[in-house]
Amino acid sequence: MPSAEIEREVESLRVSLENWNYQYYVLDQPTVPDADYDRALRRLQELEAQHPELLRPDSPTQRVGAQALSEFTQVAHEMPMLSLDNAFDAQELRDFDRRVRERLGRGNDEIEYACEPKLDGIAVSLLYRDGILQRGATRGDGFSGEDITHNVRTIPSIPLRLNGRGIPGVLEVRGEIYMPRQGFEQLNERARAAGEKTFVNPRNAAAGSLRQLDARLTAQRPLQMCCYSVGLVEDGDLPDTHAQVLDSLLRWGLRTNPESRVVRGIASCEAYYESLAQKRDGLPYDIDGIVYKVNDLEAQQRLGFVSRAPRWAIARKFPAQEEMTRLLDVEFQVGRTGAITPVARLEPVFVGGVTVSNATLHNSDEVQRLGVRIGDTVIVRRAGDVIPQVVSVVPDRRPEDAKAVQFPGRCPVCDSPVEREPGEAVMRCMGGLVCAAQQKAAIKHFVSRRAMDIDGLGDKLVEQLVDEGLVLNVAGLYRVSREQLLQLERMGEKSADKLLASLENSKNTTLARFLFALGIREVGEATALSLARHFGSWEALAAATEEQLLQVDDVGPVVADHLRQFFDSVSSQEVVAQLRESGLHWPDLEPPQADQLPLAGETWVVTGKLEAMERNEAKAILQELGAKVAGSVSARTSCVVAGPGAGSKLGKATELGVEVIDEAAFIARLETMGVTL
Ligand code: IVH
pLDDT reported for residue 28: 45
Backbone phi, psi, residue 394, to 5°: -100, 100
Mean pLDDT of 492-499: 94
Q: What is the pLDDT of residues 27-61, one digit of tens each?
A: 445 677 777 888 898 899 899 989 989 987 667 77
Length of the chain equals 677
Residue 126: in which H helix or E strand, if any? Answer: strand 122-129
Range name among 355-369, 498-512, 582-596 with the lowest pLDDT average:
582-596
C-alpha distance from residue 122 to each of 165, 175, 206, 376 (Å): 29, 8, 7, 30
Residue 298 contacts residue 240 (beta carbons within 8 Å): yes
Residue 14 contacts residue 41 (beta carbons within 8 Å): no
Handedness of CA 163, 169, 174, 177 (dihedral sign): positive
Gap from CA of 82 to ligand 1 centroid (Å): 8
342, with CB counted inside 10 A (0-12, 13-18, 19+), is: buried
Q: Which residues contact 128 (CB under 8 A, 6 or more apart)?
A: 134, 162, 167, 170, 171, 172, 173
Statement: residue 125 has pLDDT above 80: yes
Q: % helix / strand / coil in the chain, to the nearest 5?
A: 40, 20, 40
Tell which wins on pLDDT, 392 or 626.
392
Residue 93: in which H helix or E strand, if any? Answer: helix 90-104
Gap from CA of 215 to ligand 1 centroid (Å): 25
Mean pLDDT of 649-665: 87
CA distance 514 to 96: 58
Using CA positions, which residue lies closest to atom 6 of ligand 1?
118
CB atoms inside a 10 Å sphere around CB 306: 10
Task: Establish whether residue 122 lines the binding site of ligand 1, counting it when its CB lies within 6 angstroms of any ligand atom.
Answer: no
8-state DSSP, 397: G
Q: What is the pLDDT of residues 82-107, one digit of tens each?
A: 899 999 899 999 999 999 999 999 99
Query: For 46-59, what is the HEC assignment?
Result: HHHHHCHHHCCCCC
Gap from CA of 114 to ligand 1 centroid (Å): 13
Statement: residue 385 has pLDDT above 80: no
CA distance 182 to 507: 36
pLDDT reported for residue 295: 98
Q: Amino acid identity of 42?
A: R
Statement: residue 320 has pLDDT above 60: yes
Kind of pairing between the strands at 287-294 and 112-119: antiparallel
Statement: residue 215 has pLDDT above 90: no
Please identify, by atom number, the ligand 1 atom nearest to the C-alpha of residue 123: 13
Q: Of the candidates 546, 555, 485, which has an alpha carbon nearest to the alpha carbon of residue 515?
A: 555
Backbone phi, psi, residue 72, to 5°: -100, 150
Cα maximum dimension of the chain: 89
Gap from CA of 605 to ligand 1 centroid (Å): 32
8-state DSSP, 282: G
Using CA positions, which residue lies closest to atom 3 of ligand 1?
228
Task: Establish whether residue 84 lines the binding site of ligand 1, counting it when its CB lies within 6 angstroms of any ligand atom.
Answer: yes
Using CA positions, which residue lies closest to atom 18 of ligand 1?
118
Using CA positions, which residue lies closest to atom 9 of ligand 1?
118
Please tell me which of 30-34, 471-475, 621-625 the model is most confident about, judged by mean pLDDT: 471-475
Q: Amino acid identity of 75?
A: V
Task: Establish whether residue 175 lines the binding site of ligand 1, counting it when its CB lies within 6 angstroms of any ligand atom.
Answer: no
Gap from CA of 79 to ligand 1 centroid (Å): 15
Residue 579: in which H helix or E strand, if any? Answer: helix 570-581
CB atoms inside a 10 Å sphere around CB 675: 14
Task: Tell me the Ramachandran region of residue 105: left when phi exceeds 0, alpha when psi lies from -120 to 50, beta otherwise.
Answer: left
pLDDT reported for residue 64: 36
SS3 293: strand
C-alpha count within 13 angstroms, C-beta hemisphere, residue 115 = 25
Which residue among 38, 77, 79, 118 is best mutated to probe the pocket of ligand 1, counting the most ligand atoms within 8 A of its Cβ? 118
Number of helices (H) and strands (E) in the chain: give both, helices first.
24, 24
Range name among 252-256, 276-280, 451-455 with the lowest pLDDT average:
252-256
Mean pLDDT of 570-580: 92
Residue 270 contacts residue 93 (beta carbons within 8 Å): yes
Q: Of the candidates 564, 548, 556, 568, which has an alpha carbon nearest to the alpha carbon of residue 527?
A: 556
Kind of pairing between the strands at 603-607 and 639-642: parallel
CA distance 283 to 644: 10
pLDDT band at 593 (very low <50, low <70, confident <90, very high): low
Query: For 115-168, what is the HEC assignment?
Result: EEEEECCEEEEEEEECCEEEEEEECCCCCEEEECHHHHCCCCCCCCECCCCCCC
Residue 343 contacts residue 359 (beta carbons within 8 Å): yes
Residue 194 contacts residue 186 (beta carbons within 8 Å): no
CB atoms inside a 10 Å sphere around CB 373: 18
Tell which wins on pLDDT, 609 or 441.
441
Q: Amino acid identity of 644?
A: P
Please tell me which of 10-14, 343-347, 602-606, 611-615 the model is most confident about, judged by mean pLDDT: 343-347
Query: For 535-557, what is the HEC assignment?
Result: HCCHHHHHCCCHHHHHCCCCCCH
pLDDT reported for residue 197: 83
Range name among 154-158, 230-234, 280-284, 363-367 with the lowest pLDDT average:
154-158
Q: Of the candidates 297, 250, 311, 270, which has an alpha carbon nearest to the alpha carbon of residue 115?
A: 270
Handedness of CA 452, 457, 458, 464 (dihedral sign): negative
Statement: residue 66 has pLDDT above 60: no
Residue 144 contacts residue 79 (beta carbons within 8 Å): no
Which residue among 64, 82, 122, 176 is best mutated to probe the pocket of ligand 1, counting the most ligand atoms within 8 A of its Cβ? 176
Backbone phi, psi, residue 406, to 5°: -95, 120
Statement: residue 677 has pLDDT above 80: no
pLDDT reported for residue 124: 97
pLDDT reported for residue 29: 56
Task: Establish whether residue 82 lines the binding site of ligand 1, counting it when its CB lies within 6 angstroms of any ligand atom.
Answer: yes
202-210 vs 181-193: helix crossing angle, rounded to 10: 80
Tell which wins on pLDDT, 123 or 160.
123
CB atoms inside a 10 Å sphere around CB 31: 20
pLDDT band at 378 (very low <50, low <70, confident <90, very high): very high
User: Could you tell me where the DSSP H helices lie in 403-510?
Assistant: 436-447, 459-467, 482-487, 493-506
pLDDT band at 21 (very low <50, low <70, confident <90, very high): low
User: Could you tell me where the DSSP H helices lie in 304-418?
Assistant: 364-370
Gap from CA of 229 to ligand 1 centroid (Å): 9
CB atoms inside a 10 Å sphere around CB 28: 17
Task: Tell me the Ramachandran region of residue 293: left when phi exceeds 0, alpha when psi lies from -120 to 50, beta otherwise.
Answer: beta
Gap from CA of 318 to ligand 1 centroid (Å): 14
Kind of pairing between the strands at 427-429 and 418-420: antiparallel
pLDDT reported for residue 624: 80
Q: What is the pLDDT of residues 236-262, one digit of tens each?
A: 999 999 999 999 998 888 889 989 999
Active site residue 444: no
Q: Mean pLDDT over all residues of the chain?
A: 89
615-624 vs 525-535: helix crossing angle, rounded to 10: 10
pLDDT reported for residue 67: 41
Statement: residue 502 has pLDDT above 50: yes
Task: From the candidates 118, 619, 649, 652, give the one annotated as an active-site residue.
Answer: 118
Q: What is the pLDDT of residues 522-562, one digit of tens each?
A: 999 889 988 998 899 999 999 999 999 998 877 899 999 99
C-alpha distance from residue 202 to each of 152, 208, 214, 292 (Å): 17, 10, 20, 23
pLDDT reported for residue 426: 87
Mean pLDDT of 151-180: 90
Kind of pairing between the strands at 603-607 and 628-629: parallel
CA distance 320 to 43: 17
Residue 352 contacts residue 346 (beta carbons within 8 Å): no
CA distance 321 to 313: 23
Task: Establish whether residue 351 lines the binding site of ligand 1, counting it when its CB lies within 6 angstroms of any ligand atom.
Answer: no
Please identify, by atom number, the ligand 1 atom nearest to the C-alpha of residue 82: 2
Q: What is the pLDDT of residues 105-121, one digit of tens each?
A: 999 999 999 999 999 99
Strand partners of residue 264: 112
Statement: residue 588 has pLDDT above 50: yes
8-state DSSP, 508: B
